[in-house]
Structures are given as structure tokens and as C-alpha cells.
Amino acid sequence: MSFSSLTRGVAIAAAGVLALGLTACAGSDDSSAPADGSDGLGTLKVGALPVPAGDMLKWISDNLAEEKGITIEWQEFTDYNTPNPALSDGSVDANLFQNTTFLETYNEQSGDDLVSVGEIYLPAAAFYSEKVDSLDELEDGASIAIPNDPTNEGRALELLAAEGLIEISDGATTLNEITDNPKNLKFVEIENATLALALPDNDAAFVTASFAIPAGLSDDDTILIEGTDSKYYNVLATRDELKDDPRIVALQELLNDERTKEYILETWKGLIVPVD
């Protein structure tokens, strides 16, 4: 994707939904009816962080949803721990915030069986810095803030390893799996949602776009960014019994619509990348 913070070794929290409120992003039942006068598909409740998925859902609701006869309501979340439990307990019908690896890890730890119905966009993750302008400027012993959840920690380590700054074991997700660290980089593990705040106290920090954009970070602040070949595209997820629901199918089609892709590219200038 976008994925963050399943805290390592801790059981999945109960579905206490820390939402800022349920925001209806579409009109009444009449406005959701198709142009041919047939009955609409009804309402779909979707959990998401405000940026970028919340903005995408609002744009689709305002511009495309009527074509499919669907009313989209999105429930706003402020962290990565609560959207999946909310989906599991039926508080929402789908969510859009995580990549496949995050989803699989959640299912393994919770014993749940949530499913992906397809990749939607890449919230490009990057190393940002206020102290250096390039990787080459990182000195021996530089302090690097990285996420403390397995998926995004592994993502950060993979990116550094690809640039030759460290060596890691295959599939590494923890600091213990660093096999060589020639510059003696000092890693600080931090909750994903607060990594942008760690920039002043560290030489660099790994921040996913979902949190970099609200913090005012841009590609001008990056010293290393993921490519579009990343395996961390965010997916539209739902419960197994809803994967073929016409509302889910309709939303997936709208999210992958060429007009939506144009909106994504124009709005986020490469920090958010629609799936091909």
C-alpha cells in the first residue's frame, strides 16, 4: 500500500472503533438510483483513514457513485489497529487502508478470515529527513526511525537493504534479522502514525504516505522513496461472505476507474500511485 500498526506480540485489540464520526459521503436513496430508474444497490459502509482513502471515497461518491446506484458512507479511523476489528464485527462492510501483508498478518494473529478483493493504490513510503539531503550524507551511527509493526518495519528494512545500507535475512521483519550494518545505523522503533513527529529528533524517518501527507511532507523531503514496483499496494478488504456482493464489486470498479486514477495522480503527485 496503504499498512501499519499491528503491535508485535500483542493480541489484536477488541473492536473499539476510534472513529472521528460516521460521514455520509453520498446523498439520499433517490440520489443513488441509476439513471435508468431501477433500484439502486444501496449503502456500503467503508472504513478508511482520511488521507488518501477517505478523500478518494468522497470524490467517488460526489462524481461516480450515482452511475452504479451505490451510496457510500465512510467511517473515519485515525490508526491502523481498529479498521479490521470494525470490519470483522460488522460495523463496516469494507475497509481501504492496508496492504496484503498487513491483512494476512491480522488474520493470522486474530484467527479471522477477512479477504482482499483487489489492489487499489500504493501509498508510497519513503525515508524523510530534515538533516540530510541524501542517503550518502548519513553518517556512521545515524539515528533512523522506523515503524514498530512487522509489516512496515520489514518494508523499511527492505528499502534500506536494496540501497546497500544494510543486509537482512530473506523476509526480515525485525531488527534481529539485520545481518550486516556497516554504518552502525541506530534504529528507533516508533508507532507508524507518529513517525512524522520523530523527524526533528532523528537523522531520518520512514513514513508512509497516509501519514506523510497530513504532516505536510512532500517528495522534496525524501531521501529514499519506494518505486511503483512495490508489493505494498493497499487493497479493498471485506468479509468473505461479502466478497461477491454487488456493492463491493461496484466500489472496486469505481476505485479502479480511469477517472479515479486521474484524480489520484493529479491530487497527490506521485506519493499515491493507482494500481495499473
**Domain segments of the chain as ranges:** 19-123+231-274, 126-225
Q: Look at residue 39 in the predicted model and tell me its pLDDT.
A: 59
pLDDT in tens, 141-195: 999 999 999 889 999 999 999 999 999 999 999 999 999 999 999 999 999 889 9
Pick the residue with more confidence: 37 or 133? 133
The distance of Cα 248 from the centroid of its chain, to the nearest Å, equals: 19
CATH topology of domain 19-123+231-274: D-Maltodextrin-Binding Protein; domain 2 (3.40.190)
Are 88 and 236 a contacting pair, CB within 8 Å? no
233: nearest Cα among 213, 204, 256, 258:
256
Beta-strand pair 234-238/115-123: antiparallel
Asked if 34 and 68 touch (Cβ cutoff 8 Å), the reply is yes
126-225: CATH superfamily: Periplasmic binding protein-like II (3.40.190.10)
Residue 103, sorted as left (phi over 0), alpha (psi -120 to 50) or beta, turns out to be alpha
Q: Kindly tell me if the per-residue pLDDT of 13 is higher than 80.
A: no
**pLDDT-derived band of residue 71, with 50, 70 and 90 as boundaries?**
very high
In angstroms, the CA 241 to CA 129 distance is 44
Give the residue with greater pLDDT, 151 vs 65. Answer: 65
pLDDT band at 219 (very low <50, low <70, confident <90, very high): confident
pLDDT at res. 210: 86
Q: What is the mean pLDDT of the chain?
A: 87
